[in-house]
Amino acid sequence: MLYLIGLGLGDETDITVKGLSIVKKAARVYLEAYTSILLVDKAVLEQYYGREVILADREMVESASDDILHDAQNVDVAFLVVGDPFGATTHTDLVLRARALKIPITSIPNASIMSAIGATGLQLYNFGQTVSMVFFTETWKPASFYNRIRENREIGLHTLVLLDIKVKEQSLENMARGRKIYESPRYMTVGQCASQMLEIEEMKSGEGTGGVYGEESLAVGVARIGGKTEKFVSGTLKQLCLADQELGGPLHSLVLLGRRTHELESEYVREFAVDKEGWDMIWKRDYEGRQ
C-alpha cells in the first residue's frame, strides 16, 4: 500500500494518530521536501517517529518516483506531506503513477493552509479561487494570477495567495551546463508578494485593464500559521510591503479581502492592523454595507 499522510502545519506532533501508526510500521518513510516546509527539522521527526525518514526532493518525486513506489504492491510505503496530501498537484501525479502500477493507495488527511487560514477570522466560505505568486525576475514577471483575483473580486470574495518557495533550485547557467549545483533556499515574504502585486497592478493599469487591487486595498499577512509562533498582520497592501520584520521568518501567505467582507470578519482582522484607525476608515469607505 502507498500511504499519503498529511503532517499538518506545525511540528512533529501534528500528525494524526492514524498517520503515526502507519509511519511506525511502514517499510519505508519519505518526506516530500519542496512544495512546503514543516517548522521542525527532519531529525526531530525521526526522533518522534522512531524511524528513518528519507527526504524526497523535487527531482526524486518528479523524475524518480519508481524509487518511491518500488515494491509498494507488497510492502507499506509512507509518503509524508506537509499540510494535506492533496495540497499540491505533484501528489496527484504520484497517485496516478501508483494506479498505473496497480498499487493500492490510501490518503490520511490533515490541516492545510486552505483550512487553517480561517484562523485569520475570515470565513472560509467567503474565499474564492486560491492563487500562487512566484518570484519575479528581471525578464519574467508572470501575471496569470491577476485574472483569477479579478474574478474573485467581482463576486466579492477573499483571495488566498500562496507564496513561492525555492528549494534545491538550479540557476539557469548551472542547469544549461548540467551542473548539479543548487541555489540556497528562498521563501517569498508577504512584503515581496505585496510589492509584486502592486507592480502588476501598475502594469495592468497602464494597459487599461487594471483596477483590481491598489495600494489602499485591505489584506492580511500570515506567517507560520498553525505553529507556536504564528503571526498575523493586517493593513493596506502598501503597509504590508513593509511588514516582513513584524511577521518574521517563513512560511508566509497573503489574503486579499473581498468586498463582501462581513462586519464580524473586519472586527476580528482589525486586531492585527498596522493602523487600526486607518483600517476603520478604509473599511467604512470601501467595504461596509457591501456584503
Provide the residue count of the chain: 291
- Annotated ligand binding at 163? The verdict is yes
Is there a contact between 183 and 166 (Cβ–Cβ < 8 Å)? yes
- Annotated ligand binding at 91? The verdict is no
134: Cβ contacts below 8 Å, ≥ 6 apart? 142, 164, 188
Handedness of CA 227, 252, 38, 3 (dihedral sign): positive
Instruction: List, as own/partner pairs, every contact residues 271-274 make where C-beta atoms lie below 8 angstroms and the sequence separation is at least 24, other chains included.
Output: 272/120, 272/220, 272/232, 272/233, 272/234, 273/234, 273/235, 274/233, 274/234, 274/235, 274/239, 274/240, 274/243
Taking alpha carbons only, the member of 136, 190, 183 closest to residue 162 is: 190
- Annotated ligand binding at 218? The verdict is no
Partners of 182 in the β-ladder:
none
Cα 277 from Cα 279, distance rounded (Å) = 5
111: Cβ contacts below 8 Å, ≥ 6 apart? 6, 8, 9, 14, 83, 84, 226
Q: Which three cell numbers stand for residue 216?
A: 489602499
Residue 27 neighbours by CB distance under 10 Å: 12
- Annotated ligand binding at 84? The verdict is yes
- Annotated ligand binding at 9? The verdict is yes
- Annotated ligand binding at 262? The verdict is no
- Annotated ligand binding at 113? The verdict is yes
- Relative to beta strand 252-256, strand 218-223 is antiparallel
Mark the binding-site residues, compressed into ranges: 9, 84, 87, 112-113, 163, 252
Mark the binding-site residues for S-adenosyl-L-methionine, compressed into ranges: 9, 84, 87, 112-113, 163, 252
